């Protein structure tokens, strides 16, 4: 294994992972503080809306404006919760010179979807077997790691991120291709329902449901 300034590749990756973890912990704490602050502000908005509604009725413009702001804040809280969850997740260390794509499988309401088969396919929708696959867990999380020995092979092919259900129905087909790069972790959420569901091509052999 090559060394740089007496530090091995593994040690360098371990140090980088530790730094990333520290940043994620800091980001998670800041997000929680921000959510707490916004929740206090939203409570003030709700109380003011209730006070004005009792005085002027629910159809009053100021009441409707406050209620609209409160509904917007609720959607914002969902987004903050998703970011907190991302920051709290501690992925497995990346092997030396490997590439990883990970993310979450969610529906249009941003709810996690488990048991979805995620893999790379060619332009015909055929699974690229050598690169493996991943089954989303209860939180919707999936992760595909391509080790160093397969990076060159992966770079020679166009890779389309694909997701199917238990019935082998294609629920997602990413039109943009991915280029694996050594030592890099990429993140990509899969939002089911963004593209029309289709049945897989007859030539497709669905990957086994392995985690």
Write down the mean pLDDT value for the chain. Answer: 80
Distances (CA, A) of 26 to 16, 34, 158: 15, 12, 37
Give percent of the chain above pLDDT 90.
39
Residues 184, 165, 76, CA angle at the centre, nearest 5°?
Answer: 60
Lowest mean pLDDT of 20-24, 70-74, 166-170, name the range. 20-24
Tokens of 15: 């140090």
- Encode pLDDT of 5-41 as tens digits: 444 554 544 555 555 556 667 877 888 888 888 889 9
- Whole-number percent of the chain with pLDDT over 70: 77
Greater confidence (19 vs 168) lies with 168
Judging by beta carbons within 10 Å of its beta carbon (0-12, 13-18, 19+), is residue 117 exposed, middle or buried? buried
At 140-162, the pLDDT tens digits run 999 999 999 999 888 888 899 99
């Amino acid at each position: 294994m090559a060394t740089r300034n007496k530090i091995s590749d593994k040690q360098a990756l371990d140090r980088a992972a530790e730094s990333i973890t520290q940043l994620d912990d800091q980001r998670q704490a800041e997000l929680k503080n921000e959510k707490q602050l916004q929740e206090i502000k939203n409570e003030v908005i709700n109380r003011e809306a209730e006070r004005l509604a009792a005085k002027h009725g629910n159809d009053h413009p100021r009441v409707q404006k406050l209620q609209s702001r409160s509904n917007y804040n609720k959607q914002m809280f969902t987004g903050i919760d998703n970011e907190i969850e991302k920051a709290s997740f501690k992925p497995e260390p990346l092997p030396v010179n490997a590439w990883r794509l990970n993310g979450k499988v969610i529906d249009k309401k941003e709810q996690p979807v488990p048991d979805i088969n995620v893999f790379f396919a060619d332009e015909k929708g055929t699974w690229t077997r050598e690169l493996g696959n991943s089954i989303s867990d209860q939180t919707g999380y999936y992760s595909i790691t391509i080790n160093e020995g397969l990076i060159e092979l992966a770079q020679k092919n166009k890779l389309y991120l694909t997701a199917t259900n238990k019935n082998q129905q294609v629920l997602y087909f990413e039109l943009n291709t991915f280029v694996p790069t050594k030592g890099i972790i990429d993140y990509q959420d899969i939002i089911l329902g963004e593209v029309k569901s289709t049945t897989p091509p007859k030539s497709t052999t669905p990957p086994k449901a392995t985690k």
